[in-house]
Amino acid sequence: MRVLVPLISKKEADEKFVERVATKAKEIILLLVVDTEAMSGQFGFAAGEIAQANALMQQVKNAVGRKRKTCEDIIEWGNTARKIEHLAQLRGVDKICLVKQDNQFFKKLLQDMRKKLPKIEIEVVKLEEEK
């Protein structure tokens, strides 16, 4: 199974999330979209956060490597939703895994993906809130 993991919540390096993604996956594609129109700090990565984004991508890649799964990382510039949709179609992914977020941008992204990518399974993983 080929799984696409867009790095949009900044929590994708969480052990529980990586474990969930790696289960049944043969290949994992990490997608980092530098979206200059994204709301900085709340959804996706803005241009000024590239170093932080690269560090997160490396953390996730290392965690996936420990699970002995093939992992590829891709950095794209542009609109987050469009880049996810295009890459999912180009790479023929079977599943997209996302960390659940409670904001309007995430809800809209999820709604759009389910509409535009009806044949791809979309899994939203809820992480426990830190107290």
Evaluated on CA atoms 43, 18, 97, 104, the torsion sign reads negative
Closest CA to 25 of 82, 73, 97, 81: 97
In this prediction, what percent of the chain has a pLDDT beyond 70? 88
Distance CA 12, CA 107 (A): 17
Each residue's pLDDT tens digit, 101-118: 999 989 999 999 999 999
Alpha-helical segments (H) within the chain: 15-22, 50-66, 80-91, 104-116
Each residue's pLDDT tens digit, 12-50: 999 999 999 998 899 999 999 887 766 545 555 665 677
Distance CA 11, CA 100 (A): 10
Each residue's pLDDT tens digit, 52-78: 888 889 999 999 988 888 899 999 988
The predicted structure's pLDDT at residue 60? 92
